[in-house]
Every structure is written in structure tokens, then in C-alpha cells.
Amino acid sequence: MEALAAGPAPAPRRQLIVGSALASVAMLMLTGGMLAVWSLQRRRTVDLGETWLPSGVTVPEVPVNVTLLAFIGICTFAQWAVYAAKRGDRAHTAFALAVTVLTAVMVINAQAFIYSEMGLGIGDGTYAAMFYAVTGMFLALMTIGVILAAVAAFRFLGGRSDREIVAAHAIYWYTVAIIFSAIWFVVYVTK
């Protein structure tokens, strides 16, 4: 049997981009599944003639809406990093990634503020447990995003000029923005 001809070195197939796209699908499924159960439980409670949001609890609308607006900033800064990385502009890439991280930390802080304003104990019933489950999942995604931005910065600025991870990191933030938009509507607006 003769051997198959050796091929040229395979063209880079953007493994990180594909991987982050698949991770985004998984994150959307996680959120979608949780919000579906949230909606079901809410409907069951309302059908019983009870209120879903416990009495005495109010949703602090200002930090919630500011968080939603902050995602416009996060996505813009992440895309700025991609643009700068593509042009090989290390200073702008570093600055854009730093601002992305800063805004993400601000969102985490805002979520902590929402917790303190609502004053809801995790054992205060079904709503409380589910509220902390959904928002806790969101906080976990934000933390992963901050770590990812830091890794992207190290890999791009540390000499490898890895533009792909900067683009993958931007895909991640777009997905988190979609996720928070859904949480904003289902959890904070519909209540």
C-alpha cells in the first residue's frame, strides 16, 4: 500500500473562536433553562393567587438598569480591543482590555449592591432561592469573563500577540450581554 501524500500544514481554523462560540451556546442553554423554570414557577405561584415577588421586597431599578447599560460599554470596549489587536496596536489593546475588566468589576459591584438593597435572605422561600441561583450564575459568568480578559491581556501583551483569544473574549462578553438582557427582562422587569 502506498502512502497518502503529506498535506500542507493545515490552515489555522480558529480553534479558540469555535470553542468560545460553543461555550456561548452552553451558557445560553444554561440561562435559558433556568429562566424557563423561573417562568414556570412564577406562573404556578400567580395561578394560586399569590404574588411572586415577596411582599416588602423591592427591586432597586437604578443599579439594575445601569448594569444593563454597562454592557453596552463592555461590548464596545471588548470590540475595541479586537480592533486594536488586529492592527497590532498593543497600547490600545491593553487599554481596551483594562477598561473592559474595570466595567465588568463595576457590574459585579452593582450586583452586590442589588443584593444589599433587596435584603432578601436565601432561605426566604422559593423566590429567594431561585433569585440567588440565577443571579449567582450571572456573577459566576462575570467572574469568568474578568479572568478571561486578564488571560487575553497576558497572552496578547506577553509576546505571543494572540489576536484570536482577544476575539474569543469579545464573543464571550457579547454572550454575557445577551444573558443579562434576558435576566433583566425576566427577573427584574417582569418580576
The site for other proteins (CB under 8 A) is made up of 1-10, 13-15, 18-19, 22-23, 25-27, 29-34, 36-37, 41, 122-126, 128-130, 132-133, 136-137
Between 83 and 184, name the residue whose CB sits nearer to other proteins.
184
Distance of closest approach, residue 108 Cβ to other proteins, in angstroms: 19
Distance of closest approach, residue 124 Cβ to other proteins, in angstroms: 7
Between 9 and 69, name the residue whose CB sits nearer to other proteins.
9
Distance of closest approach, residue 118 Cβ to other proteins, in angstroms: 16
Residue 101: name the closest of 44, 162, 144, 165 by CA. 144
Between 77 and 127, name the residue whose CB sits nearer to other proteins.
127
Please, are residues 168 and 19 in contact by the beta-carbon 8 Å criterion?
A: yes
> Which amino acid belongs to residue 177?
A
Distances (CA, A) of 187 to 46, 169, 176: 15, 26, 16
Residue 164: name the closest of 13, 11, 47 by CA. 13
Question: Cβ neighbours of residue 6 under 8 Å, at least 6 residues apart?
Answer: none
* Distance from C-alpha of 78 to C-alpha of 172, rounded to nearest angstrom: 9
Distance of closest approach, residue 101 Cβ to other proteins, in angstroms: 23
Angle at 153 (CA atoms; ends 74, 140), nearest 5 degrees: 55
Distance of closest approach, residue 45 Cβ to other proteins, in angstroms: 9
Between 56 and 69, name the residue whose CB sits nearer to other proteins.
56
Between 49 and 91, name the residue whose CB sits nearer to other proteins.
49
